[in-house]
Amino acid sequence: RGVEIKWTCAPDRITDATPATALLHFPGGLADALAERIGELETVTPTFAGRVERKGEAGAVEWAVTWSPIGFGEADSFVSSYCNTVSTPDGGTHEAGFRAALVKGLKAYGELTNEKRAGLITAEDVIANAGAMISVFIRNPEFQGQTKDRLSSPEGQRLVEQLLRDPLDHWLTESPKQANTLLGFVIERAEDRLKRRKDKEVQRAAATRKLRLPGKLADCTRQAAEGTELFIVEGDSAGGSAKQARDRNTQAILPLRGKILNVASATADKLRANVELSDLALALGVQPGNRFNIDDLRYERIVIMTDADVDGAHIAALLITFFYRSMPDAITEIGRFKGLGEMMASQLKETTMDPKKRTLARVELPEDEAEIEDLVERLMGKKAEARYQFIQDNARFAVADLDV
């Protein structure tokens, strides 16, 4: 801070990474240094930066941190730390204090705003996708090893955690919108971490046993996905009729038991624990969410075949919401169809399951992603008042189609 360094390089040593001349000057301290390092990179919030000196005693901390949804070049995150202006590339106690202060501050803000999921947050989640610089000044610092690459003084952690908490609390409470954005971003990292851990547990368990498909799935005999269809039906009775009407070579039947979970308003824990959705993903051969791979789908086409009544329409809406939120590529890359519900096997075959005679309506997404996301959130999200307002605004258009 306040120091100006003029760099000149010998002509024979100039490369793309080593300029002929450069001026290193950061009047704003670490905030300016961090800004230069990240450039025009997209960030979740403005940089949180500052400098605090301990009153009455020696010791000071300066910091700058921001978060990026896309990471920082080759690395998802980085922390550059210093003690008494000496670089500590292996971190140490001052970095531990920095992480602890961020975790405690965000958890405290979560409690203040009644965000229960804030309890999931760990230091790993806070540092993920973070770009940070921290500099600590203490007396008689202790380092590990002869190269002094890692600070080991316990005072480093105590000082940073103590001096950082108040500025962090003020920064969060002064801008609730900004704080809520950051908290939501970190909670997403926490949920991703828990999901990865759960996936690893599932993979370890799967490695010890053969591939197991849901017991209620009546699979088709064709091994290749090309030309195959999965019919999702309501309950065992509809499943029985569909099994009789199907072409066993290319058509599989998966009965659902009741209405599935509304993924637009459910927590991550409920999603992971839901048997119906787990069985559906297992039958399809894919993992929902970020790990979805369209190439893993076991069927070329997915057909939603529910009863032609209000309950059937609701189940179809819940299923479409699940596909939209958990595996949107299944909507944009393959055919999705909504069929008829339970009837006699002969009628079902002729109207819905015989490719030569049936009529299927394709479900598509509009080009405006923001519009469809807003609609899903209003109709399927947690806020009942948003659904009520939608009904108030649009009910007059649906009167002619009411089945009463």
Catalytic residues: 234, 307, 309, 311
Geometric angle at alpha carbon 292, from 290 and 293, rounded to 5°: 130
Tokens 């000044």 -> residue: 137
**86-87 sheet: strands from edge to edge:** 48-53, 60-67, 130-137, 78-83, 86-87
Rg (the chain; Cα; Å) = 28
The C-alpha torsion from 121 through 124 and 129 to 133, rounded to 10°, is: 110
341 vs 362: CA distance, rounded Å: 16
Which of 213, 289, 276, 266 has the alpha carbon at shortest distance from 382? Answer: 266
Helices (H), 246-285: 268-273, 275-284
Q: Is 325 helix (H, G, I), strand (E, B) or coil?
A: helix
Helices (H), 296-383: 310-326, 329-333, 345-348, 369-380
329 vs 316: CA distance, rounded Å: 18
Geometric angle at alpha carbon 216, from 306 and 192, rounded to 5°: 85
Q: Copy the structure tokens of residue 82.
A: 């210093």
Q: Is 385 helix (H, G, I), strand (E, B) or coil?
A: helix
Left (φ > 0), alpha (ψ -120 to 50) or beta: where does 216 sit? alpha
Query: In this structure, how many other beta carbons lie within 10 angstroms of the beta carbon of residue 301?
Result: 19
CB proximity list for 354: less than 8 A, separation 6 or greater: none
Helices (H), 128-273: 154-174, 176-207, 235-245, 268-273
